[in-house]
Amino acid sequence: NAGVMQNPRHLVRRRGQEARLRCSPMKGHSHVYWYRQLPEEGLKFMVYLQKENIIDESGMPKERFSAEFPKEGPSILRIQQVVRGDSAAYFCASSWGTGAYEQYFGPGTRLTVT
Amino acid sequence: KQEVTQIPAALSVPEGENLVLNCSFTDSAIYNLQWFRQDPGKGLTSLLLIQSSQREQTSGRLNASLDKSSGRSTLYIAASQPGDSATYLCAPAEGGSEKLVFGKGTKLTVNP
């Protein structure tokens, strides 16, 4: 059973470009979470999605960031018009259900904005 | 707002020692608490999950305890090995929102 998969593992974008980060949850998992780890800081929650629904986006910046988890295919975290401050490691986690279930993390996408 | 503190921030021990990592959180209304390890430049590996109704959980040389009412969890590592060197993260899952709230971690170095 493959774990949580994220791609690309490393992404370099120039200021003003768009970044698309993909996350495929573990087989059978329908809950996806995105977290961001800024340099020298702890991981911060961004958004929680179930298939076709955003459940909690309280950690998402109000502008330029969006997330989706379509009925078919991976979850996508999209960052428009990237700035240097967006450089970070972005981690995706998935779980089987709500509440008491363990979250399993992917290897992360390291975004560098030049 | 949930805040998580991990003490110590860094720890260096000789191989073979037993050690305790501490985690405290401000809001006791949690679903569960997970302990992770993170190796440099890598993702998170889940070590243990303690449900809010449980007091402790064990896996191999690892034992985690949870005192929800006082907002504390500890991770005990027995007979430490150089391969245990990593950053250890504590993350309670907020009740009602599913999200994990992370501390800044304890960076552990086990010297051969």
Residue A1 has pLDDT above 70, yes or no: no
Q: Which chain A residue shows the shortest CA-CA distance from B105?
A: A42
Q: In the prediction, which pLDDT does A77 show?
A: 98
The string of pLDDT tens digits covering residues B53-82 is: 999 999 999 999 999 999 999 999 999 999
Which residue in B45, B52, B100 is closest to A45 by CB distance?
B100
Task: Compute the average pLDDT of residues B96-106.
Answer: 88
CA B107 – CA B110 distance, rounded (Å): 10
Angle at the Cα of A80 from the Cα atoms of A57 and A89, rounded to 5 degrees: 65
> Residue A56 and residue B44: Cβ atoms within 8 Å?
no
Chain center to CA of B29: 18
B80 three-state secondary structure: coil
Interface test with chain A among B2, B52, B98, by most A beta carbons within 10 Å: B98
Tokens read off for A38: 């800024």
Q: In the prediction, which pLDDT does A99 show?
A: 65
In single-letter form, the type of residue at position A95 comes to S
Which residue in A43, A55, A56 is closest to B102 by CB distance?
A43
CA A51 – CA A49 distance, rounded (Å): 7
> Residue A105 and residue B89: Cβ atoms within 8 Å?
no
